[in-house]
Amino acid sequence: MMQMKVHKDEKTGTYWFVVSAGNDELGKRRQIKRRGFRTEKQALKEMRKILQQIDENTYIKNTKLVYSEFLEGEWLDSKALKLKPVTLATYKHNIQKHIAVYFKKVEIGKITPQMIEKFYVHLVKEKGLSEITVLGSNLYMAYLLALTTGMRQGEILGLRWKDIVFENGTLQVRQTLSHDGKHFSEATKTKSSTRTITLTEKTIEELKAHKKKVAKEKLATGSSYQDYNLVVCTKMGNPINPRNLLRDFYRLMKKAIVPKIKFQGLRHTVATLMLTQGINPKIVNEILWHSDIRVTLDTYSHVLPTVHKETAKQFGNMLFG
């Protein structure tokens, strides 16, 4: 078991630690030491980071090693036996075309989080890559759809590519994923049961980029890919378990230091923003697909006084200048 204790140097007032990193190729015990931390908190943070790297087999002793050389050599070699040839070729291409060109001869030990953030911006603004391509989160699309369409969680996770009409910029809600993530529920074949939602230009743009990304994942996976034609899915094509989506959602809220809400709260956010922008409650009702407009009016009655006040102000300005 790895040692997780931080010590204080009484002479200098700084903190240090030593952790076990298993055995080397000759069976000799390996230890990693770090000294000179001003606070115990800083030492603990660095120790946890190193322990995680050891656990994930990503710890690099020689921090003077050039980053791009490490990726093209040792890192790719470690992936060769785990990845399909087409995926390995994609990794190699991205390293040579983007990472090696940008970081050039920068040593691993000198790379900072700020440099990584600037690299992301570089890829988006100068290389023209979509943000979803750069950050590569399949769940990003779930959040985008929730905030731009007001769709329910099950509707988002059940959405298929064939339900989207890119030419018209619309999608239809025809299928939902169950709460346990084990089966789909088809909408009945009646016109009134199918909801059509008009998408924003940004959403259409991101959906197109996401579709290309999913197609690449499908190609890389090969015959193991489970093709449900889903927009939001795992890298193997399977439905996203609703619990995993919620777990990621809560993690992001904690990271952003914002009040914790349920995924359903995103629908309320959409409705509130629409109503405060003066959008007719009838339209909001149709987008959210409430059974009756009275449900919409009762649920968001707290927003309406503000809407009425703003409407009266705008009407007065129109009449009296």
Domain total in the chain: 4
Q: Which domain holds residue 285?
A: 265-320
* Residue where a domain stops, chosen among 129, 156, 174: 129
In a domain, 60, yes or no: no
In a domain, 273, yes or no: yes
Phi first, then psi: what are they for 218, rounded to 5°? -65, -45
Q: For residues 163 and 217, state if they share a domain.
A: yes
pLDDT at residue 255, rounded to an integer: 72
CATH code of residue 238? 1.10.443.10
Q: How far is CA 183 from the centre of its chain?
A: 24
Q: For residues 250 and 191, state if they share a domain.
A: yes
pLDDT, one tens digit per residue, over 221-250 is 777 788 999 999 988 888 999 998 988 888
Q: Whole-angstrom Cα distance, residue 159 to residue 162?
A: 9
Q: Whole-angstrom Cα distance, residue 171 to residue 21?
A: 52
pLDDT, one tens digit per residue, over 85-110 is 877 788 888 888 888 888 888 887 67
* Residue where a domain stops, chosen among 203, 236, 256: 256
Tell me the torsion sign for CA atoms 289, 293, 298, 303.
Answer: positive
Q: Whole-angstrom Cα distance, residue 288 to residue 296?
A: 9
The pTM for the full model equals 0.52
Q: Does residue 35 or residue 256 have the better pLDDT?
A: 35
Q: For residues 27 and 86, state if they share a domain.
A: no
Q: For residues 47 and 76, state if they share a domain.
A: no
Which 3-state string (H, E, C) describes 28-65?
CEEEEEEEEECCHHHHHHHHHHHHHHHHCCCCCCCCCC
| 3-state class (DSSP) for residue 196 | strand
* Residue where a domain stops, chosen among 109, 129, 149: 129
